[in-house]
Amino acid sequence: MGLLLLFAASLLIFAGTQILPGDVAQSILGQSATPQALANLRAELGLNEPAVTRYISWLVGALHGDLGTALTNGQDIADAMGRRLGNTLFLAGCAAIIAVPLALTLGLVSVRYQGRWPDKVISAVTLASVSVPEFLLGYIVMFIMAVRLHAFPSVSTVYDSMSLLERLNAIALPVTVLVLVVLGHMMRMTRAAILNVMQSAYIETAELKGMRPFRIIWRHALPNAIAPVVNVVMLNLAYLVVGVVVVEVVFVYPGMGQYLVDHVAKRDVPVVQACGLVFAAVYIGLNMIADVVSILANPRLRHPK
């Protein structure tokens, strides 16, 4: 099913790039290009071939690891994308390292103090962070931390020669925004899953035995609520990789999102197709991992009646 879904995504990506307005040859050569020069370039790029032929050629090349060549600068897309993808994975990984444990902890605390002021404060703050658009949240964080306090740089540019500490300092603001964006969703889903398990009879038995509330939540409720928690965590990890486009543009971070936006503006179709395919593969792959982990964590899914 994952492979079929990825194939369907490749069809949509290719079809979407074909209906983009404008002319690739015109974008490369400029408005002053002669009709003959435009015709020659279209023939050279294979733009005169049928769409089905171009799709099959692109898909076969992608299956062999050949994502093509960028039209605007002649660079190999796989090489250029490898560096950008590494930057995006580093940014997403740092955000996940902070967001996932924090969300699980806040979810457990919220369940422990259900209906009391810690639960209300945590729910209100996380709901507010989810409700604010990413670009607005990014500019707010930038204004406070970079402009007013001068604590971190406003432009998150990283280089290969930078040390780990320099990289962490450079990406502090986009990581903060990403954590705030995904924290609320993971915390609220963790809270809801655990509260659903807390209604079970064995939880009541543990309470009647005099076990401490937090021990009941940690030892008995959380393991049985792990399947939906893993699913929501994986969905948010997929978002951290796939949905960082806005955050990378706001902070001028040299990742996949910035790479995609730059080449959409140039109408560099091969780059747009390659980025879309990689994003789709990451999203589908993480969802498949979530399904496998849920099955392994829940014996009832491993042995259905």
The reply to whether 29 and 128 lie within a common domain is: no
> Is there a domain that residue 241 lies in?
yes
26 and 114, same domain (yes or no): no
Domain count along the chain: 2
Q: Give the span between the Cα atoms of 117 and 123, in whole angstroms.
A: 10
Q: Are residues 211 and 251 in the same domain?
A: yes
Mean pLDDT for all residues in the chain: 83
Interatomic CA distance for residues 255 and 248, integer angstroms: 7
The pLDDT score that the predictor gives to residue 128 is 85
Instruction: Classify residue 45: in a domain, yes or no.
Output: yes
pLDDT at 173: 92
Inside any domain, residue 78: no
Whether residues 117 and 184 share a domain: the answer is: yes
Q: What is the pTM assigned to this prediction? A: 0.81
pLDDT at 305: 59
Is 55 in the same domain as 101?
no
For residue 72, is it within any domain?
Answer: no
Low-confidence stretches of the chain (pLDDT beneath 50)? none
* Residue 69 in domain: no
- Residue 76 within a domain: no
Question: Do 296 and 233 share a structural domain?
Answer: yes
Looking at the fold, whether 140 and 56 belong to one and the same domain comes out as: no
- Co-location of 177 and 95 in the same domain: yes
- Do residues 203 and 286 both lie within one domain? yes
pLDDT given at position 8: 92
**Domain identity same for 124 and 234:** yes
- Is 77 inside any structural domain? no
Residue range of the domain that includes 14: 2-63
State the CATH number of the domain containing residue 135.
1.10.3720.10
- pLDDT (0 to 100) of residue 272: 86
Q: How far apart are CA 185 and CA 191, in angstroms?
A: 10
Residues 33 and 170 grouped into a single domain? no
My answer on whether 220 and 262 are in the same domain is yes
**Residue 71 within a domain:** no
